[in-house]
Each structure stands twice: as structure tokens, then as C-alpha cells.
Amino acid sequence: MSNNNKYSRETHLIYGKAFTTKWDYNHHVVPPISSSTTFRLDTVERGALGFSEFERIAEIPDTEPPIYIYDRLGEPNKEILEENLATAESGETAVTFASGMSAISGVLGILTKSGDEIVAHKTLYGCTFSLLNNWYPRYNIKTIKIDLTNPENLNDVITEKTRVLYFETPANPNLEIIDIEAVVKKVAEINKNRDEANRVKIVVDNTFATPYCQRPIEWGVDFVVHSLTKNIGGFGTDMGGVVIGKRKYRDILMLYRKDFGGVLSSKSAWPIMVYGLPSLAVRMQREINNAMKVAEFLAQHPKVQFVNYPGLPSFKYYEIARKQMIDFHGNFAPGNMIYFALKGNSPEEGREKGRAMMNYIAQNAYTLTLAVSLGHVRTLIEHPGSMTHSMIPPDEQIKEGIDPAGIRMSIGLENVEDIIRDLEDALKQI
Ligand SMILES: *Cc1c(COP(=O)(O)O)cnc(C)c1O
């Protein structure tokens, strides 16, 4: 390979100078977007070593530069982001996925097989509910739903076949809070007489809180999953997901991702790594301050039935929230999500009023956007019963803790007085 003119000009269009001196990653302040699906191998032996190392990634010291082979196996942008996410959550390792749902299927995929059982809290994000209810029965994996706000309920449902205990805290959409410490203690009792292969593993979806507000691994859970699409990404430009846990699971998570294929695009890993995660703390702090004021405003409004916000002393789970939702310095960090419902003489009337308020907001409110998703710079508002949780049949919604009149808000970075003014105006209309 040389730079002489033995080769024709159209071939030069492909290879250029062949060896360029412009390739100096070590001095970039911001890592470049890596956009290579495949990687040049200097020798066949390097390729063979790369494949053999992939099978035992957990044993290779972090200080050794990896041998990249193919994007689906690993590439720099995802792996820098993974290091930073593991640090944020106090985990040993992180493996990213194409979306929150592919991360959830990834961790459940490595922990279960046909014949196993999953125990889950009754209130779950709609697609997680659908995964467990509509797909896993096909693979002979059964899910038992319980009210995990009382960890004693575990006594009735854990069997020899239980492999996973799965929950969100705060739960999507109603913000119910599970006492992580109490659940970990209960599961440790159950696991005492089980060998490693049969132990119940705890998986927590920490999307609502983000690592800024809560780090379940510090309480002893086995795995944390996130939708990076939400507050960690932060700007609403890219989808992503991550599983964080012990280093010994890195191999099998990477093998699962390789074969099931839900890889995070390097072009999506990049903005999450460069913009999202570095600004998480400042965004969350501002959103918490805003959410506190919005929750207080809603709680005193005569047309509002109830407000669930972990920062309100009147909230049923306030004490548990105070214990486990804390920032990196131990300060109370109750997050940016609010769930509330309007008064009505019946659930139907409450639901109708919610719908009317939402449609008014969609047309008239400058600082409230009717949209699903959450954790963006803009305040988003939605009606879970007919939007994010519509996969759950209406009669089951109430059982799963989803109020037909419930409205979910994700508070953004606006001036909070503007958000409150728009809410006040919308509440006047109904
Ligand atoms: C959005 C969300 C998910 C799914 O994440 P995607 O990135 O949309 O696949 C999972 N759990 C919770 C709590 C969510 O809010």
C-alpha cells in the first residue's frame, strides 16, 4: 500500500493516502463520532485474538486497548459512554442497547429461560408490561405481578422457578415508590439457601429517577436498566438503553447483544455521551426545583384530586423517597416527574376532564407540550390511560395502578412561573 500513482484515480477516491497522519485521537478534547461498522485488522492473528477476547471480555483489564472487529461487537463511542454510565450508577460495568426496551429484553434474556418465572411490581411502563404479558408466555416464561410497595407480599409468590424480581421506582406513570432497601433484604433472606444459579436477581428500571437522584446498586440490587432516550439523553434527539451491573455479566450481555442485535448506534451514543450525561446534574437540579413548585401549585388547586410527587410531604411514599432518592451528596432529589388527576364525580368524568385539559393545552399552552416520552428540556404532558399505557386493557389499568383520570408531567427547564401560568390557564378552562 503506497501513496504513489501506480493506482488509478478512482481507486484513490476510496483509499486516499492510505496512511494519514491526521488520525490522532489522543488529543481530541471531545471524542470524535466513530462511524465505522468494521475495523481493519493488521494480521489474521489480531483478528483471532479479538474474537477470543470478546468471549471473555470481563477478564481483560480495562487498561488494555480493546481489539475492535465489528460495530455489533463493540466500538469506541458506545464503550466510552458505557464506562461513564457505570460510574454514574456505581456499577462495575454497563452495556448499552438500541433502546430502553432492548436493554430490558437484554437483561431479562440473559437471566431467564423456558420454565422460569419473573415476579414484577404491578405498575410498569406499558411496553414492559406488553413484553412480559404478550411475548414471554410464548417462551414459557411466566410473570407474576404483585404489589411490591409491601415487600412482605414476596412471600406468597416466590417459587423455586423465580429467577428475576423486576420493578420501577418511582413507577411509570403513578410514581409509586418501592423501598429498595427492604426488598433487597427480603430477597437476601430468600436467596440464603439457594446456590448462585438459582438465586433471584433484582432488576430495577431507574429511568424516572436517573442516577442523579437514585442509585439502586448502592442499595444492593443486581442490575439497573435505563431508557437513555429519557433524562440521560436529555434533549430528545436519540434513542438508547443500558444495563448496568457486575462485571462478571459483561460477557453474556455482550454476547446477547451480538446475537439479538439491539446495538446502540455510535451516532446515538455520541450525543448521549457528549451532551446528555455531562449536563444531567445541572438539568436535574433545575427540573427538581421546578417540579417542586409545580407540585405545590397543583396540590393546592381546588380542581385537582391528588398529586403524586416524591418531594411533597403529603405524598404517601414521601418517607421512603427521602431515604433513597438522594443526589451524589446525600441531598433529597425527588426527580422531575409528577402524576396528578382532576376531580370528577366518577372516574369517567375525571378522565373526560383530563382529556379536555390536554386538548386545550395542546392548542394553547406555550410551555406545555402534549407528547409521550419524558426527561426533555421542554415540559411534556400526557394522559397515560390513552397514550403510554394504552397497551394495558382499560379494565386492567385500574388494577395496575393507572388512574383513568391520571395525567403525567415531565418538568423541563423553563422558567417555572411560565409553566404554572399555563397550567393555571388550562385548569380555568375545564
Ligand atoms: C420509556 C421507558 C422505557 C422504554 O425505553 P425506550 O427507550 O422507549 O425503549 C422503559 N422504562 C421506562 C420507565 C420508560 O419510561
Ligand 1 atom closest to the Cα of residue 240 is 7
Whose C-alpha lies nearest to ligand 1, atom 5?
A: 100
CA of 127 to the centre of ligand 1 (A): 8
Ligand 1 atom closest to the Cα of residue 168 is 13
Ligand 1 atom closest to the Cα of residue 103 is 9
Would you state the cell numbers that stand for residue 421, as one nine-digit string? 401560568
Within 8 A by CB and 6+ apart from 393, the residues are none
Best mutation site among 172, 232, 400 for ligand 1 pocket (most ligand atoms within 8 Å of CB): 172
Q: Cell 406468597, residue?
A: 156
CA of 209 to the centre of ligand 1 (A): 12
Ligand 1 atom closest to the Cα of residue 241 is 7
The number of C-alpha atoms within 13 Å of 137 and in the hemisphere containing its C-beta is 6
- Classify residue 27 by its DSSP letter: G
pLDDT, tens digit, for every residue of 47-87?
999 999 888 888 888 788 889 999 999 999 999 999 999 99
CA of 172 to the centre of ligand 1 (A): 9
Q: What is the pTM of this model?
A: 0.95
What's the CATH class of domain 283-428?
Answer: alpha beta
What's the CATH class of domain 4-279?
Answer: alpha beta
Best mutation site among 229, 376, 402, 409 for ligand 1 pocket (most ligand atoms within 8 Å of CB): 229
CA 337-343-345 angle, to 5 degrees, is 145
pLDDT at residue 3, rounded to an integer: 53
pLDDT at residue 387, rounded to an integer: 81
Whose C-alpha lies nearest to ligand 1, atom 1?
A: 227
Would you state the cell numbers that stand for residue 60, as one nine-digit string? 481483560
Long-range contact set of residues 150-157: C-beta below 8 Å, sequence gap at least 24: 151/178, 151/179, 151/182, 151/183, 151/185, 151/186, 152/186, 154/119, 154/183, 154/186, 154/187, 154/190, 157/119
Full 3-state SS string of 286-301: HHHHHHHHHHHHHHCC
Ligand 1 atom closest to the Cα of residue 230 is 1
CA of 86 to the centre of ligand 1 (A): 19
Each domain of the chain, given as residue ranges in start order, spans 4-279, 283-428
**C-beta of residue 370 within 8 angstroms of C-beta of residue 361:** yes
pLDDT at residue 4, rounded to an integer: 62
CA of 101 to the centre of ligand 1 (A): 6
CA-nearest of 327, 235, 329, 234 to 289 is: 327
What stretches in the chain show pLDDT beneath 70? Answer: 1-4
Would you state the cell numbers that stand for residue 215, as one nine-digit string? 442509585
- The alpha carbon torsion through 251, 144, 229, 135 (nearest 10 deg) reads 80
Exposure of 296 by Cβ count < 10 A (0-12 exposed, 13-18 middle, 19+ buried)?
middle
pLDDT at residue 424, rounded to an integer: 98
Ligand 1 atom closest to the Cα of residue 207 is 13
Write out the DSSP string of 83-114: HHHHHHTT-SEEEEESSHHHHHHHHHHHH--T
CA of 407 to the centre of ligand 1 (A): 17
Write out the DSSP string of 290-333: HHHHHHHHHHT-TTEEEEE-TT-TTSTTHHHHHHH-B-TTS-B-
Whose C-alpha lies nearest to ligand 1, atom 8?
A: 100
Phi, psi of 41 (to 5 degrees): -105, 130
Domain 4-279 and domain 283-428, same fold? Reply is: no
CA of 227 to the centre of ligand 1 (A): 5
pLDDT at residue 21, rounded to an integer: 84
CA of 117 to the centre of ligand 1 (A): 22
Q: How many residues does the chain have?
A: 430
Distance (Å, whole) CA 122 – CA 424: 33
User: 118 in helix, strand or coil?
Assistant: strand
pLDDT, tens digit, for every residue of 173-190?
999 999 999 999 999 999
Residues with CB under 6 A from ligand 1: 99-101, 125, 127-128, 168, 172, 205, 207-208, 227, 229-230, 239, 241
Ligand 1 atom closest to the Cα of residue 101 is 9
CA of 125 to the centre of ligand 1 (A): 7
**C-beta of residue 73 within 8 angstroms of C-beta of residue 266:** no
